[in-house]
Amino acid sequence: MQKILSGLNGPRTLGNGPLFWLSFWVLVGVAACMPVFLGSFAVSNVTFFLVWTFMALGLSLMWGYGGILSFGQTAFFGLAGYTYGIFSLNAGDTPVLVWVSLFVALLAPVLLALVLGYFIFYGGIRDVFVGIVTLSVTLVFETFMAQTAGPEWAIGEARLNGFNGMSGMPLLSIIIGERGVSFDGTPFYWLVLALVILTYLGLRLLVNSSFGRVLVAIQGNPDRVEMLGYNVRLHQLITFTIGGGLAGLSGVMYTLWGSYITPSSMSLNAASLPIIWVAAGGRKDLTAVLVATLALTWVSQQLAVYGSQYALILMGFLLICVVMGAPEGFVVSLVAWFKRRLARKNQTA
Protein backbone atom coordinates (compact mmCIF):
# COMPACT_ATOMS: atom_id res chain seq x y z
CA MET A 1 0.00 0.00 0.00
CA GLN A 2 2.84 2.40 0.86
CA LYS A 3 4.43 1.71 -2.54
CA ILE A 4 1.16 2.54 -4.32
CA LEU A 5 0.75 5.78 -2.36
CA SER A 6 4.32 6.84 -3.12
CA GLY A 7 3.69 6.16 -6.80
CA LEU A 8 0.54 8.27 -6.82
CA ASN A 9 2.37 11.11 -5.03
CA GLY A 10 5.49 11.11 -7.20
CA PRO A 11 7.31 14.24 -8.38
CA ARG A 12 6.04 14.06 -11.94
CA THR A 13 2.39 14.72 -11.15
CA LEU A 14 0.70 17.93 -10.04
CA GLY A 15 -1.19 17.65 -6.78
CA ASN A 16 0.22 15.54 -3.97
CA GLY A 17 -0.42 15.09 -0.29
CA PRO A 18 -3.49 14.49 1.88
CA LEU A 19 -5.27 17.74 0.96
CA PHE A 20 -5.09 17.02 -2.74
CA TRP A 21 -6.39 13.47 -2.37
CA LEU A 22 -9.15 14.57 -0.01
CA SER A 23 -10.27 17.12 -2.61
CA PHE A 24 -9.93 14.54 -5.37
CA TRP A 25 -12.14 11.95 -3.72
CA VAL A 26 -14.68 14.59 -2.71
CA LEU A 27 -14.92 15.64 -6.37
CA VAL A 28 -15.25 11.99 -7.39
CA GLY A 29 -18.08 11.56 -4.88
CA VAL A 30 -19.82 14.69 -6.19
CA ALA A 31 -19.39 13.50 -9.77
CA ALA A 32 -20.81 10.07 -8.91
CA CYS A 33 -23.89 11.70 -7.35
CA MET A 34 -24.48 14.14 -10.22
CA PRO A 35 -27.15 11.99 -11.94
CA VAL A 36 -29.29 12.30 -8.81
CA PHE A 37 -29.44 16.09 -9.16
CA LEU A 38 -29.13 16.60 -12.92
CA GLY A 39 -31.45 15.71 -15.76
CA SER A 40 -30.69 13.10 -18.39
CA PHE A 41 -29.52 15.72 -20.91
CA ALA A 42 -26.95 17.18 -18.49
CA VAL A 43 -25.72 13.70 -17.56
CA SER A 44 -25.27 12.87 -21.24
CA ASN A 45 -23.32 16.10 -21.73
CA VAL A 46 -20.95 15.38 -18.84
CA THR A 47 -20.44 11.86 -20.20
CA PHE A 48 -19.49 13.39 -23.55
CA PHE A 49 -16.83 15.54 -21.84
CA LEU A 50 -15.42 12.56 -19.95
CA VAL A 51 -15.19 10.43 -23.11
CA TRP A 52 -12.41 12.63 -24.52
CA THR A 53 -10.19 12.49 -21.45
CA PHE A 54 -8.80 9.02 -22.29
CA MET A 55 -7.30 10.27 -25.55
CA ALA A 56 -5.92 13.42 -23.87
CA LEU A 57 -4.34 11.48 -20.99
CA GLY A 58 -2.76 9.04 -23.43
CA LEU A 59 -1.31 11.91 -25.46
CA SER A 60 0.00 13.50 -22.25
CA LEU A 61 1.87 10.28 -21.50
CA MET A 62 3.28 10.13 -25.04
CA TRP A 63 4.13 13.80 -25.56
CA GLY A 64 4.62 15.24 -22.10
CA TYR A 65 6.56 12.36 -20.56
CA GLY A 66 7.96 10.53 -23.59
CA GLY A 67 8.49 13.38 -26.03
CA ILE A 68 6.41 11.64 -28.72
CA LEU A 69 4.20 14.19 -30.49
CA SER A 70 1.46 12.27 -32.30
CA PHE A 71 -1.22 13.62 -34.61
CA GLY A 72 -2.57 10.11 -35.03
CA GLN A 73 -4.72 9.83 -31.92
CA THR A 74 -7.93 10.32 -33.90
CA ALA A 75 -6.89 7.50 -36.25
CA PHE A 76 -6.89 5.12 -33.27
CA PHE A 77 -10.09 6.78 -32.08
CA GLY A 78 -11.85 6.20 -35.42
CA LEU A 79 -10.49 2.69 -35.89
CA ALA A 80 -11.87 1.61 -32.52
CA GLY A 81 -15.26 3.21 -33.21
CA TYR A 82 -15.63 1.63 -36.64
CA THR A 83 -14.39 -1.73 -35.41
CA TYR A 84 -17.00 -1.74 -32.66
CA GLY A 85 -19.70 -0.77 -35.16
CA ILE A 86 -18.76 -3.50 -37.64
CA PHE A 87 -18.48 -6.30 -35.09
CA SER A 88 -21.49 -5.33 -32.96
CA LEU A 89 -23.83 -4.87 -35.94
CA ASN A 90 -22.88 -8.29 -37.25
CA ALA A 91 -22.86 -10.04 -33.88
CA GLY A 92 -26.24 -8.69 -32.76
CA ASP A 93 -27.28 -7.27 -29.42
CA THR A 94 -26.63 -10.37 -27.32
CA PRO A 95 -24.88 -9.06 -24.17
CA VAL A 96 -21.91 -11.45 -24.36
CA LEU A 97 -21.29 -10.77 -28.05
CA VAL A 98 -21.52 -7.00 -27.54
CA TRP A 99 -18.81 -7.21 -24.88
CA VAL A 100 -16.73 -9.33 -27.26
CA SER A 101 -17.18 -6.60 -29.87
CA LEU A 102 -15.97 -4.06 -27.33
CA PHE A 103 -12.87 -6.15 -26.63
CA VAL A 104 -12.09 -6.50 -30.35
CA ALA A 105 -12.62 -2.77 -30.85
CA LEU A 106 -10.10 -1.99 -28.09
CA LEU A 107 -7.64 -4.54 -29.45
CA ALA A 108 -7.64 -3.05 -32.98
CA PRO A 109 -6.04 0.35 -32.11
CA VAL A 110 -3.57 -1.34 -29.79
CA LEU A 111 -2.39 -3.59 -32.63
CA LEU A 112 -2.25 -0.66 -35.07
CA ALA A 113 -0.22 1.39 -32.58
CA LEU A 114 2.07 -1.59 -31.98
CA VAL A 115 2.75 -2.16 -35.69
CA LEU A 116 2.98 1.54 -36.60
CA GLY A 117 5.13 2.29 -33.57
CA TYR A 118 7.48 -0.58 -34.42
CA PHE A 119 8.18 0.82 -37.87
CA ILE A 120 8.51 4.37 -36.50
CA PHE A 121 10.85 3.79 -33.58
CA TYR A 122 12.81 0.78 -34.82
CA GLY A 123 13.05 2.54 -38.17
CA GLY A 124 14.85 5.45 -36.56
CA ILE A 125 12.12 8.08 -37.06
CA ARG A 126 12.36 10.85 -34.47
CA ASP A 127 11.10 14.26 -33.39
CA VAL A 128 8.75 16.11 -35.74
CA PHE A 129 8.82 13.30 -38.29
CA VAL A 130 6.80 11.11 -35.90
CA GLY A 131 4.06 13.76 -36.01
CA ILE A 132 4.20 13.85 -39.82
CA VAL A 133 3.88 10.07 -40.13
CA THR A 134 1.01 9.83 -37.65
CA LEU A 135 -0.81 12.75 -39.27
CA SER A 136 -0.47 11.07 -42.66
CA VAL A 137 -1.99 7.87 -41.30
CA THR A 138 -4.91 9.84 -39.85
CA LEU A 139 -5.65 11.71 -43.07
CA VAL A 140 -5.38 8.55 -45.20
CA PHE A 141 -7.79 6.75 -42.90
CA GLU A 142 -10.26 9.65 -42.93
CA THR A 143 -10.08 10.01 -46.73
CA PHE A 144 -10.66 6.30 -47.23
CA MET A 145 -13.62 6.11 -44.86
CA ALA A 146 -15.19 9.24 -46.41
CA GLN A 147 -15.51 7.58 -49.83
CA THR A 148 -17.30 4.46 -48.56
CA ALA A 149 -20.80 5.80 -49.17
CA GLY A 150 -21.87 3.29 -51.82
CA PRO A 151 -23.87 0.13 -51.07
CA GLU A 152 -20.86 -1.97 -52.03
CA TRP A 153 -19.02 -0.71 -48.95
CA ALA A 154 -20.56 -3.08 -46.43
CA ILE A 155 -19.11 -5.72 -44.14
CA GLY A 156 -21.87 -8.18 -43.47
CA GLU A 157 -24.75 -6.24 -41.95
CA ALA A 158 -22.62 -3.16 -41.31
CA ARG A 159 -22.78 -0.35 -43.90
CA LEU A 160 -19.86 2.09 -43.68
CA ASN A 161 -21.96 4.92 -45.21
CA GLY A 162 -19.12 7.33 -46.02
CA PHE A 163 -19.55 10.83 -44.54
CA ASN A 164 -22.94 9.84 -43.15
CA GLY A 165 -21.16 7.44 -40.83
CA MET A 166 -22.31 4.28 -39.09
CA SER A 167 -25.18 4.29 -36.62
CA GLY A 168 -27.50 2.02 -34.70
CA MET A 169 -24.81 0.11 -32.79
CA PRO A 170 -26.13 -1.86 -29.78
CA LEU A 171 -25.43 -0.73 -26.23
CA LEU A 172 -23.47 -2.62 -23.63
CA SER A 173 -25.62 -4.60 -21.24
CA ILE A 174 -25.36 -7.19 -18.52
CA ILE A 175 -27.76 -9.77 -17.13
CA ILE A 176 -28.42 -9.61 -13.38
CA GLY A 177 -30.62 -12.52 -12.39
CA GLU A 178 -33.48 -12.51 -14.84
CA ARG A 179 -33.18 -8.83 -15.61
CA GLY A 180 -31.02 -7.07 -18.18
CA VAL A 181 -29.33 -3.75 -17.43
CA SER A 182 -28.24 -1.57 -20.35
CA PHE A 183 -25.37 0.87 -20.03
CA ASP A 184 -27.30 3.87 -21.21
CA GLY A 185 -27.80 7.25 -19.56
CA THR A 186 -26.79 7.14 -15.90
CA PRO A 187 -25.28 3.59 -15.89
CA PHE A 188 -23.11 4.52 -18.89
CA TYR A 189 -22.05 7.73 -17.15
CA TRP A 190 -20.94 5.76 -14.09
CA LEU A 191 -19.05 3.31 -16.31
CA VAL A 192 -17.16 6.10 -18.10
CA LEU A 193 -16.47 7.93 -14.82
CA ALA A 194 -15.03 4.76 -13.27
CA LEU A 195 -12.81 4.19 -16.32
CA VAL A 196 -11.55 7.79 -16.20
CA ILE A 197 -10.61 7.43 -12.52
CA LEU A 198 -8.85 4.10 -13.11
CA THR A 199 -7.00 5.47 -16.15
CA TYR A 200 -5.87 8.59 -14.31
CA LEU A 201 -4.65 6.67 -11.25
CA GLY A 202 -3.00 4.00 -13.40
CA LEU A 203 -1.08 6.58 -15.42
CA ARG A 204 0.05 8.38 -12.26
CA LEU A 205 1.50 5.10 -11.02
CA LEU A 206 3.15 4.49 -14.39
CA VAL A 207 4.86 7.88 -14.77
CA ASN A 208 6.20 7.75 -11.21
CA SER A 209 7.52 4.19 -11.61
CA SER A 210 10.97 3.20 -12.87
CA PHE A 211 9.45 2.99 -16.36
CA GLY A 212 8.29 6.60 -16.07
CA ARG A 213 11.70 7.76 -14.88
CA VAL A 214 13.35 6.16 -17.89
CA LEU A 215 10.70 7.65 -20.16
CA VAL A 216 11.33 11.17 -18.86
CA ALA A 217 15.07 10.64 -19.32
CA ILE A 218 14.49 9.51 -22.91
CA GLN A 219 12.64 12.72 -23.60
CA GLY A 220 15.64 14.69 -22.40
CA ASN A 221 18.41 12.75 -24.14
CA PRO A 222 17.60 9.38 -25.76
CA ASP A 223 21.21 8.74 -26.84
CA ARG A 224 22.51 9.07 -23.30
CA VAL A 225 19.79 6.78 -21.96
CA GLU A 226 20.67 4.17 -24.58
CA MET A 227 24.34 4.38 -23.59
CA LEU A 228 23.28 3.59 -20.02
CA GLY A 229 21.89 0.27 -21.24
CA TYR A 230 18.15 0.97 -21.48
CA ASN A 231 16.11 -0.12 -24.48
CA VAL A 232 14.93 3.28 -25.69
CA ARG A 233 12.93 1.98 -28.65
CA LEU A 234 11.04 -0.53 -26.53
CA HIS A 235 10.08 2.15 -23.99
CA GLN A 236 8.88 4.42 -26.79
CA LEU A 237 6.95 1.59 -28.43
CA ILE A 238 5.19 0.66 -25.18
CA THR A 239 4.31 4.31 -24.54
CA PHE A 240 3.01 4.78 -28.08
CA THR A 241 0.91 1.61 -27.79
CA ILE A 242 -0.62 2.72 -24.48
CA GLY A 243 -1.46 6.10 -25.98
CA GLY A 244 -3.05 4.45 -29.02
CA GLY A 245 -5.06 2.12 -26.82
CA LEU A 246 -6.39 5.01 -24.73
CA ALA A 247 -7.35 6.93 -27.87
CA GLY A 248 -9.18 3.79 -28.98
CA LEU A 249 -10.98 3.67 -25.63
CA SER A 250 -12.21 7.21 -26.28
CA GLY A 251 -13.38 6.10 -29.72
CA VAL A 252 -15.37 3.15 -28.38
CA MET A 253 -16.93 5.18 -25.58
CA TYR A 254 -17.84 7.95 -28.04
CA THR A 255 -19.45 5.41 -30.36
CA LEU A 256 -21.43 3.92 -27.47
CA TRP A 257 -22.41 7.39 -26.24
CA GLY A 258 -23.93 8.55 -29.52
CA SER A 259 -24.41 5.18 -31.22
CA TYR A 260 -22.62 6.53 -34.29
CA ILE A 261 -19.17 7.22 -35.74
CA THR A 262 -18.23 9.32 -38.78
CA PRO A 263 -15.02 10.05 -40.75
CA SER A 264 -15.15 13.66 -39.52
CA SER A 265 -14.00 12.39 -36.13
CA MET A 266 -10.62 11.79 -37.81
CA SER A 267 -10.38 15.08 -39.72
CA LEU A 268 -7.47 17.53 -39.45
CA ASN A 269 -9.49 19.71 -37.08
CA ALA A 270 -10.29 16.74 -34.85
CA ALA A 271 -6.66 15.60 -34.89
CA SER A 272 -5.46 19.00 -33.67
CA LEU A 273 -7.85 19.27 -30.72
CA PRO A 274 -6.10 16.75 -28.40
CA ILE A 275 -2.82 18.58 -29.03
CA ILE A 276 -4.44 21.86 -27.93
CA TRP A 277 -6.09 20.34 -24.84
CA VAL A 278 -2.83 18.79 -23.68
CA ALA A 279 -0.73 21.88 -24.45
CA ALA A 280 -3.20 24.23 -22.77
CA GLY A 281 -3.35 22.20 -19.58
CA GLY A 282 0.32 21.34 -19.35
CA ARG A 283 1.57 18.37 -21.31
CA LYS A 284 3.91 17.26 -18.53
CA ASP A 285 1.16 16.83 -15.98
CA LEU A 286 -1.76 14.40 -16.04
CA THR A 287 -3.92 16.34 -13.58
CA ALA A 288 -3.58 19.56 -15.56
CA VAL A 289 -4.43 17.75 -18.79
CA LEU A 290 -7.53 16.19 -17.24
CA VAL A 291 -8.78 19.57 -15.99
CA ALA A 292 -8.03 21.37 -19.26
CA THR A 293 -9.70 18.71 -21.41
CA LEU A 294 -12.94 18.85 -19.43
CA ALA A 295 -12.94 22.65 -19.39
CA LEU A 296 -12.12 23.13 -23.08
CA THR A 297 -14.60 20.53 -24.34
CA TRP A 298 -17.28 22.32 -22.32
CA VAL A 299 -16.26 25.72 -23.74
CA SER A 300 -16.21 24.30 -27.28
CA GLN A 301 -19.71 22.93 -26.87
CA GLN A 302 -20.99 26.28 -25.61
CA LEU A 303 -19.44 28.12 -28.55
CA ALA A 304 -20.72 25.54 -31.04
CA VAL A 305 -24.23 26.85 -30.39
CA TYR A 306 -23.22 30.01 -32.26
CA GLY A 307 -21.20 28.21 -34.94
CA SER A 308 -18.49 25.56 -35.04
CA GLN A 309 -15.96 28.07 -36.40
CA TYR A 310 -15.96 30.01 -33.12
CA ALA A 311 -14.73 27.00 -31.17
CA LEU A 312 -11.97 26.38 -33.71
CA ILE A 313 -10.88 30.03 -33.60
CA LEU A 314 -10.71 29.92 -29.80
CA MET A 315 -8.70 26.68 -29.83
CA GLY A 316 -6.25 28.16 -32.32
CA PHE A 317 -5.92 31.33 -30.25
CA LEU A 318 -5.29 29.27 -27.11
CA LEU A 319 -2.54 27.31 -28.84
CA ILE A 320 -0.82 30.53 -29.90
CA CYS A 321 -1.08 31.90 -26.35
CA VAL A 322 0.40 28.71 -24.92
CA VAL A 323 3.34 28.71 -27.34
CA MET A 324 4.03 32.43 -26.85
CA GLY A 325 3.24 32.98 -23.19
CA ALA A 326 2.79 29.76 -21.22
CA PRO A 327 4.81 26.88 -22.72
CA GLU A 328 4.27 24.81 -19.57
CA GLY A 329 0.49 25.11 -19.97
CA PHE A 330 -2.10 27.44 -18.47
CA VAL A 331 -3.13 25.15 -15.62
CA VAL A 332 0.43 24.36 -14.55
CA SER A 333 1.47 28.01 -14.84
CA LEU A 334 -1.54 29.16 -12.84
CA VAL A 335 -0.83 26.67 -10.04
CA ALA A 336 2.84 27.71 -9.98
CA TRP A 337 1.86 31.38 -9.78
CA PHE A 338 -0.56 30.67 -6.93
CA LYS A 339 2.12 28.75 -5.00
CA ARG A 340 4.64 31.59 -5.42
CA ARG A 341 2.08 34.12 -4.25
CA LEU A 342 1.17 31.98 -1.25
CA ALA A 343 4.86 31.53 -0.37
CA ARG A 344 5.46 35.30 -0.47
CA LYS A 345 2.42 35.88 1.72
CA ASN A 346 3.70 33.36 4.29
CA GLN A 347 7.14 34.99 4.31
CA THR A 348 5.73 38.43 4.95
CA ALA A 349 3.29 37.20 7.60
H or E element in which residue 105 lies: helix 95-121
In percent, the amount of the chain with pLDDT more than 70 equals: 94
Question: Residue 274 pLDDT > 80, yes or no?
Answer: yes
pLDDT for 6? 56
Helix (H, G, I), strand (E, B) or coil at 167: strand
Alpha carbon 222 to chain centroid, angstroms: 25
Kindly report the backbone phi and psi dihedral angles of residue 66, in degrees, each rounded to the nearest multiple of 5, phi listed first. Answer: -105, -10
Nearest to 201 by CA among 293, 290, 314: 290
**Average pLDDT for 22-29:** 90
**Average pLDDT for 268-293:** 89
Q: Which residues have CB under 8 Å from 331's CB, separation 6+? A: 14, 280, 281, 282, 285, 287, 288, 291, 292
> What is the CATH classification number for the domain harbouring 99?
1.10.3470
| Residue type for position 200 | Y
* Structural domains counted in the chain: 1
Under the phi-then-psi rule, with left for phi > 0, alpha for psi from -120 to 50, and beta for the rest, what region is 232? alpha
Question: Residue 14 pLDDT > 70, yes or no?
Answer: no
Higher-pLDDT residue of 305 and 210 is 210
Nearest to 289 by CA among 335, 246, 332: 332
> For 77-129, what is each residue's pLDDT tens digit?
999 999 999 998 888 778 888 889 899 999 999 999 999 999 999 988 888 88
Which domain, by its residues, includes 185?
2-348
pLDDT for 178? 66
pLDDT for 254? 94
- Say if residue 328 is exposed, middle or buried (CB neighbours under 10 Å; 0-12, 13-18, 19+): middle
> For 287-316, what is each residue's pLDDT tens digit?
999 999 999 898 888 887 776 677 777 788
**Average pLDDT for 141-170:** 86
pLDDT for 316? 80
- pTM value is 0.91
pLDDT for 148? 87
pLDDT for 10? 62
pLDDT for 294? 92
